[in-house]
Structure 1
């Protein structure tokens, strides 16, 4: 049984133009992904190119539906969690080539679990370590993916 949120519990709605702005951002992000994929070439750039085209397509669909859909919620202090998560991912991508994926993966998982997800210290440490070991075994051990790693 699901319950709808009480109207008073919801954040205030944003301006209807916010849907168009969000759609434009998705299209731009897709365009950046396509440009980056082209620089990688046909082999390694295939997946990023596909994701870029899907983002552009979804952004255009969002733009077409912008006037019919309900306006999105305004950014509130709770929205800062999303900003923190995206900032963490950007930092992760920025350092992975320099120090390998093990330490950034461990730290990102820990920060997301402990501080964004408010998990216990024990759970955050255990899941972060476990996820890093599983990713290492899968990508480096089993699939022999050429990603920067320490060991």
Structure 2
């Protein structure tokens, strides 16, 4: 006979005995997440519309962003309709804030790349993600950050001739 208390709609019981796994998200959390996906998709679709969609024979700059945005909206609606049946989402915890920090640093990266080039921001972003968010050693963080930046430079600037701001 089980002595567990029944779960509420927002706090499903965790049938696994793995203590390292984050707690499962409830229906309310899954619905809020689905709504956020739909809103982001709608905002991106509005931005794509402003870029110009073009036509099927002559696509505009907003064509691909519009298609991706439409996919986001459709997936968000699917998530909302399946919110009661799905149980594989994790509850937001303090570690979920790492995602917000990562997105914030990416926004800062995009903001400064046109001002000082991509090399310094790329090294700093990778270093921050590896050392602070990933808790890697200083040696690993520095080597991987510099190595990845050199590889990106060789690929995008050297081989593909992408017109991105760069120092060298």
**Which deviations, in whole Å up to 9, do the C-alpha atoms of 1:87-119 show, x marking residues without a partner?**
111211222222222221111111111111111
1:70 to 87, 92, 97: 87
User: Does the Cα contact within 8 Å between 2:25 and 2:87 map onto a contact in 1?
Assistant: no
Deviation, 1:22, is: 0.5
Matches of 2:150 and 2:60, distance apart in 1: 28
Which structure features the higher share of helix residues? Answer: 1
> Taking structure 1 as reference, are residues 43 and 129 closer, same or farther at Cα in structure 2, changes over 3 Å only?
farther
Matches of 2:47 and 2:90, distance apart in 1: 32
> Taking structure 1 as reference, are residues 45 and 135 closer, same or farther at Cα in structure 2, changes over 3 Å only?
farther
Deviation, 1:12, is: 4.0
1:80 to 84, 97, 108: 97
CA-atom RMSD, angstroms? 2.3
Deviation, 1:15, is: 3.9
Aligned residues between the structures: 148
Unpaired segments of 5 or more residues in structure 1? none
Unpaired segments of 5 or more residues in structure 2? 1-14, 53-58
> Taking structure 1 as reference, are residues 38 and 136 closer, same or farther at Cα in structure 2, changes over 3 Å only?
farther
- Normalization by structure 1: what TM-score? 0.83
In structure 2, the residue matched to 1:115 is 132
User: Does the Cα contact within 8 Å between 1:12 and 1:73 map onto a contact in 2?
Assistant: yes
Larger CA Rg, structure 1 vs 2: 2
Matches of 2:72 and 2:148, distance apart in 1: 28
